[in-house]
Amino acid sequence: MAIKSEKNFDIKNLTSFKIGGKINEVFFPDNIADFVQLLQTYPNIQVLGNLSNTLVSSKGYDGKVILTSEMNKIEIEGNTVSAGCGVKGPKLSQEVCKTGLSGLEFMIGFPGSVGGEVYMNASANGQSISDKLRSVTCFSRKYGLITYPKDKMKFDYRTSRCQNEDIIILQADFVLKQKPVEEIQEQMNNNLDFRRKHQPTLALPNCGSIFKNPVGNPAGRLLESVGAKELMFGKARVWRNHSNFIINTGDATSLDVLKLMWELKQRVLEEYDINLEPEIKFLGTNKEEIKLWQKLNQK
């Protein structure tokens, strides 16, 4: 059976930023074999998850993309849980809760997918995805299909070996602990309440935290001190309740967001000599945007 695909795919409404143009061709594999076949056939293909932390160019992307949305299988056996890279964080959190398994409560408020959350070692409310991880099934350009145990993933704050090596997450396996469902649900509710108070909902299209927190200096605090909450480029503006979030107030373009990010980065650099590093990813082939993105990532 052929792998599902679509050409000239309009991706805007799938992104949490509600920004993005047309992608030349998008594939939707639903199993590891097909996923690996695509990665081997198209060495430069881009892989995207739930598009909750990716700014896609308004000019589109003249290349091929894999969307992991169909890689959404969850298997639970005892205390062990296997999840495909496309499983959404809240869905996984809810499913393991039903069986009285604790350890993934923090994911209830994350709009992202398992692959992206392992890639960046997502964390919140005192928990991180690496805490309960047992192993990860990946595709490596160097080694092919391979399974890495947790201690080989080089996890740290908002990072894993995936950022420095050409590794694609396909599946994650967790070992969780038994706990009363009521206690798990209460923690999930508390996490959701915390998120609502400190982060914009997707009713205000956003991509989550824009910059990583420098050691000992929360990015939001640094940005607020340099007047970030008053800044706006086009229809992209800094959220008034937290300076490390940019919201799309209407028809913001990707260039609006990149220019706003650059201004934020420069203000903090000039005031504190701290070089903020983007937490989000960018996908596009527009030369002006690529140049600005490269500047944003200079260390």
Print the domain residue range for 20: 8-67
Average model confidence (pLDDT) for the chain? 94
Q: Over range 197-203, report the average pLDDT.
A: 84
Q: Are residues 17 and 56 in the same domain?
A: yes
Checking 122-129 for CB contacts under 8 A at 24+ apart, the result is 122/89, 122/158, 123/157, 123/158, 124/191, 124/195, 125/190, 125/191, 125/194, 127/103, 128/155, 129/104, 129/172
Phi-psi region of 131 (alpha: psi -120 to 50; beta: other; left: phi over 0): alpha
Catalytic residue among 25, 123, 158, 195: 158
Give the integer Cα–Cα distance in Å for 98 and 191.
Answer: 17
- Token representation of residue 282: 């960018």
Q: What is the predicted pLDDT for the residue at 1?
A: 57
Give the integer Cα–Cα distance in Å for 125 and 166.
Answer: 30
Residue 270 in domain:
yes
Give the integer Cα–Cα distance in Å for 122 and 137.
Answer: 18
Share of the chain above pLDDT 90, in %: 86
Give the integer Cα–Cα distance in Å for 116 and 23.
Answer: 20
Residue 139 in domain:
yes
Q: For the chain, how many structural domains are there in total? A: 3
Residue 193 in domain:
yes
Q: Are residues 152 and 249 in the same domain?
A: no
Give the integer Cα–Cα distance in Å for 125 and 171.
Answer: 24
Residue 127 in domain:
yes
Q: What is the predicted pLDDT for the residue at 196?
A: 86
Residue 204 in domain:
no
Which of 115-119, 123-127, 246-250, 275-279 is the least confident region?
123-127
Give the integer Cα–Cα distance in Å for 90 and 280.
Answer: 20
Q: Are residues 101 and 42 in the same domain?
A: no
Residue 146 in domain:
yes
pLDDT tens digit sequence for 7-52: 999 999 999 999 999 999 999 999 999 999 999 999 999 999 999 9
pLDDT tens digit sequence for 144-193: 999 999 999 999 888 899 888 889 999 999 999 999 999 999 999 999 99
Taking a C-beta distance cutoff of 8 angstroms, is the pair 73, 84 a contact? yes
Q: Are residues 111 and 194 in the same domain?
A: yes
Residue 208 in domain:
no
Q: Are residues 118 and 178 in the same domain?
A: yes
pTM, rounded to two decimals: 0.92
pLDDT band at 103; cut points 50, 70, 90: very high
Residue 203 CB neighbours (<10 A): 7
Q: Are residues 183 and 164 in the same domain?
A: yes
pLDDT band at 197; cut points 50, 70, 90: confident
Q: Among residues 67, 99, 116, which one ends one of the domains?
A: 67
pLDDT tens digit sequence for 144-155: 999 999 999 999
Kind plus residue range of the DSSP H or E element containing 247: strand 246-248
Give the integer Cα–Cα distance in Å for 132 and 122.
Answer: 12
Q: Are residues 121 and 42 in the same domain?
A: no
Q: Are residues 47 and 85 in the same domain?
A: no
Q: What is the predicted pLDDT for the residue at 199?
A: 87
Q: What is the predicted pLDDT for the residue at 195?
A: 85
Catalytic residue among 25, 224, 263, 279: 279
**What Å distances lie between residue 69 and 7, 11, 36, 84, 122, CA to CA?**
17, 13, 15, 9, 19
Give the integer Cα–Cα distance in Å for 195 and 152.
Answer: 31
Residue 203 in domain:
no
Q: Over range 76-102, report the average pLDDT.
A: 97
Interacting residues of 3 by C-beta distance below 8 A, sequence separation 6+:
27, 28, 29, 34, 37, 38
Q: Is residue 275's pLDDT more than 60?
A: yes
pLDDT tens digit sequence for 215-228: 889 999 999 999 99
Catalytic residue among 52, 82, 113, 209: 209
Residue 186 annotated to the active site: no
Residue 279 annotated to the active site: yes
Q: Are residues 80 and 63 in the same domain?
A: no
Q: What is the predicted pLDDT for the residue at 122?
A: 85
